[in-house]
Amino acid sequence: MIESDARHVAMLRALGHPVRLGIVQRLAVEPETCACDFTAVFGVSQPTISQHLKVLREAGLVTTRRHGTQICYSVAPAEFAELAGLLAGLGRAVLAPAAG
């Protein structure tokens, strides 16, 4: 497996959990969201949210910025563009008419 494939697998795996996917969906419309804001939205504890955010951060899908004592999260646009390109290419290959 080449390095980019491993990165893509890590990104897709990170998005494979409903809470992490939900976090990313929320960040897409509300960038610079603080970690503490997710607990009420998803009904899980702060340590659980922190663990999910760690997975997303390690996969390169979110970025952080310190705002006082809080850490705010945003999506990483370049990584999502790369992932979108990968999925678009797969979609074209799957949906292309069979060569005859």
**pLDDT band at residue 66 using 50, 70 and 90 as cut-offs:** very high
Q: Which residues make Cβ contacts (< 8 Å) with residue 83, sequence separation at least 6? A: 8, 11, 12
- Give yes or no for a contact between 2 and 44, defined as CB atoms under 8 angstroms apart: no
Phi, psi of 69 (to 5 degrees): -95, -5
- Give yes or no for a contact between 83 and 8, defined as CB atoms under 8 angstroms apart: yes
User: What structural domains and CATH numbers belong to the chain?
Assistant: 3-88 (1.10.10.10)
Q: For residue 68, is pLDDT > 60?
A: yes
- Give yes or no for a contact between 13 and 59, defined as CB atoms under 8 angstroms apart: yes
The model's pLDDT over 16-56, given as tens digits with 9 standing for 90+, comes to: 999 999 999 999 999 999 998 999 889 999 999 999 999 99
Query: What pTM value is reported for the model?
Result: 0.86
